[in-house]
Chain A
Amino acid sequence: MDKSLSAAQARFLKARSRHHHLILAGQILLFFLFVGIWEFTARVGILNDFIFSSPSRMAVCFIQMTKDFSIFTHIGITLAETVGSFFLVMALSLATAMLLWAVPSLAELLEPYLVMLNSLPKSALAPVLIVWLGNNVKTIVVAAISVAVFGSMMTLHTGFKNSDPDKAKLIYTLGGNKRNVLFKVLIPSSIPLIINNMKVNIGLCLVGVIIGEFLAADQGLGYLIIYGSQVFKMDLVMMSIVILCILSMGLYRLISMLEKRVNRQ
């Protein structure tokens, strides 16, 4: 196969891979530049490292917390809450979207209320949830669900509604019913939509979990951030934020991997 490549094609492929390598090198360089400037300015006193912390202080803080294993507990709890609420959001919104599709009158009936709940700032609900559910993990998970679930329902329902009516007609002409349309056409044709929706939801769940942990937790990264800022341990706050960055990227990547797998089939 390689031998059959024309010179122009080979040049094209080489230029492309060169481009990719350059971008990757640039991304890595950008990271070290950012960390380096931060560390340098903190050391020479341009930045006040008591307020802004610095990469080395964050590293020290992290190593200290790994010794008693506490950092892993905090990360694990935030991760578990996020993943748990993510699965609940997907299940709830898929089930609701299917129901709304199956009973269009219900969708018409509920439309203004869904729009309202979707645009309501969910952080306003958090204090109410604490009163109702208590100062515990239930509040955090429900807060996370409330952030993502309404938008997800509406996106999926709109996607279902806009699917090709002729494909549904085909199922009816073959003697099928609404259930067949749902399982043979709607769900398989909506896989790309569902995966895109998952990408949005995993991020929103993380937002919701952090809001929840700000208010109702004694463990988790959200708790570390709020606690650290109250006692002015900025190293702890900054380190938790960096870990959150890595966490959210990792979760997003996981879903991208799932997407690639599905597309390959």
Chain B
Amino acid sequence: MEPILEFIDVCFSYHSTNGETPALSGISLSVKPGEFIAIVGPSGCGKTTLLSLISGLLLPESGEIRLLGKVQGTSGANIGYMLQKDHLFEWRTVYDNVLLGLEIRHGLNQQTKAQVNSMLDTYGLSAFKNSPPSALSGGMRQRAALIRTLALEPDILLLDEPFSALDYQTRLEVGDDIGSILRKEGKTAILVTHDLAEAITLADRVVILSNRPARIKKILPLHFDEAFDSPLKRRSAPCFSEYFDEIWKELKSNG
């Protein structure tokens, strides 16, 4: 199958008057449609930079990013991006927040509205449609943010530690929730996280980055038996801790 996303020897540095900070060096990676990739690495190593490059908010200094077989910027690929915080606007109702992306892209019509409504139904938010976001719990807010992103029907979904602001219990629930939603919708997703367990429970492959400037140290494919097909079940699989140890060792090793 043709890759939906390709990194070809991508480098990136940040510039300031205090000097140059190399963030990424020689990143090459290819992602197949429908794949769920998790990216882990030491904090500050450039994980978020990677997502900003895919979304086109930043441009690579050298190398190339290809989406749907074409260079980023000309591909017309539709990219959804979930940020660390939900950023639901308090001056809009939950419903108007969820429609924000469609509103900006002038995609509001009967069909897209019906679709959003059915997503609100499916994910248990329809009772809060006309409430302000402050009426929602942390997990519900994150689900609303996901619907806001999915409403645009992205080809690729970028997730930047979307669960890190939640308390532990909610985090497990929402992780399970959102993981299942994405599998069901067959979305290609790229998750940045510093939580190794989260990476293992959600992903098909885990990409391990080095210290700054980040290179890819290792790409670890995950295989779970069919009995462990949801994120929560994966935690109790025997190979869970093997994968955990393997990633942990890789992160700790120097170089």
Q: A residues near B, CB below 8 A?
A: 164, 166-167, 169-176, 180, 184-185, 188-189, 191
Q: How far is the CA of A236 from the CA of B8 in the complex (A)?
A: 83
Which of A170, A185, A189, A191 has the most B CB atoms < 10 Å from its CB? Answer: A170
Chain A, residue nearest B57 (CB): A172
Pairwise interchain contact B87-A174, C-beta atoms closer than 8 A: no
Pairwise interchain contact A174-B57, C-beta atoms closer than 8 A: no
Pairwise interchain contact B152-A174, C-beta atoms closer than 8 A: yes
Pairwise interchain contact B104-A173, C-beta atoms closer than 8 A: no
Which of chain B's residues have a CB closer than 8 A to the CB of A175?
101, 104-105, 152
Closest 3 CB pairs of A and B: A173-B81, A174-B101, A176-B104
With A171-B104, A173-B55: A166-B89 Cβ-Cβ less than 8 Å:
no
Contacting A188 at CB < 8 Å: which of B55, B87, B89? B89
Whether, in the assembled complex, B136 has its beta carbon less than 8 Å from a beta carbon of chain A, the answer is no
Give the Cβ gap from B57 to chain A, nearest Cβ, in Å.
6
Pairwise interchain contact A166-B100, C-beta atoms closer than 8 A: no
Chain A, residue nearest B100 (CB): A174
Give the Cβ gap from A183 to chain B, nearest Cβ, in Å.
10
Which of chain A's residues have a CB closer than 8 A to the CB of B220?
none
Which of chain A's residues have a CB closer than 8 A to the CB of B100?
174, 184
Q: How far is the CA of A22 from the CA of B148 in the complex (A)?
A: 51
Pairwise interchain contact B83-A185, C-beta atoms closer than 8 A: no
Q: How far is the CA of A170 from the CA of B152 in the complex (A)?
A: 13
Interface string of B6-24 (1 = CB under 8 A from A): 0000000000000000000
Give the Cβ gap from A168 to chain B, nearest Cβ, in Å.
10
- Which DSSP category, helix, strand, loop or mixed, fits chain A's interface? helix
Chain A, residue nearest B79 (CB): A173
Contacting A166 at CB < 8 Å: which of B87, B91, B103? B87
Q: With contacts A173-B83, A174-B104 known, what are 8 further pairs, Cβ within 8 A? A: A164-B87, A166-B83, A167-B87, A170-B83, A171-B104, A174-B148, A188-B92, A191-B91
Q: What would 19 A/B residue contacts be, using CB atoms closer than 8 Å?
A: A164-B87, A166-B84, A166-B87, A173-B55, A173-B57, A173-B79, A173-B81, A173-B83, A174-B81, A174-B100, A174-B101, A174-B104, A175-B104, A175-B152, A184-B89, A184-B100, A185-B89, A189-B91, A191-B91
Give the Cβ gap from A160 to chain B, nearest Cβ, in Å.
16
Which of chain B's residues have a CB closer than 8 A to the CB of A172?
57
Give the Cβ gap from A127 to chain B, nearest Cβ, in Å.
46
Q: How far is the CA of A172 from the CA of B52 in the complex (A)?
A: 11
Which of chain A's residues have a CB closer than 8 A to the CB of B81?
173-174
Whether, in the assembled complex, B217 has its beta carbon less than 8 Å from a beta carbon of chain A, the answer is no
Whether, in the assembled complex, B85 has its beta carbon less than 8 Å from a beta carbon of chain A, the answer is yes
List residues 47-69 of chain B with CB under 8 A from any CB of chain A. Answer: 55, 57
Chain A, residue nearest B80 (CB): A173
Q: How far is the CA of A184 from the CA of B103 in the complex (A)?
A: 10
Which of chain B's residues have a CB closer than 8 A to the CB of A170?
83, 87
Give the Cβ gap from B30 to chain A, nearest Cβ, in Å.
23
Which of chain A's residues have a CB closer than 8 A to the CB of B92?
188
Q: How far is the CA of A111 from the CA of B155 in the complex (A)?
A: 44
Q: How far is the CA of A201 from the CA of B71 in the complex (A)?
A: 52
Q: How far is the CA of A173 from the CA of B101 in the complex (A)?
A: 9
Pairwise interchain contact A166-B57, C-beta atoms closer than 8 A: no
Q: How far is the CA of A194 from the CA of B101 in the complex (A)?
A: 26
Pairwise interchain contact B105-A169, C-beta atoms closer than 8 A: no
Q: How far is the CA of A247 from the CA of B104 in the complex (A)?
A: 44
With A169-B57, A173-B57, A188-B89: A180-B83 Cβ-Cβ less than 8 Å:
no
Interface string of B116-152 (1 = CB under 8 A from A): 0000000000000000000000000000000010001
Pairwise interchain contact B105-A174, C-beta atoms closer than 8 A: yes
Give the Cβ gap from B31 to chain A, nearest Cβ, in Å.
19
Which of chain B's residues have a CB closer than 8 A to the CB of A164?
87
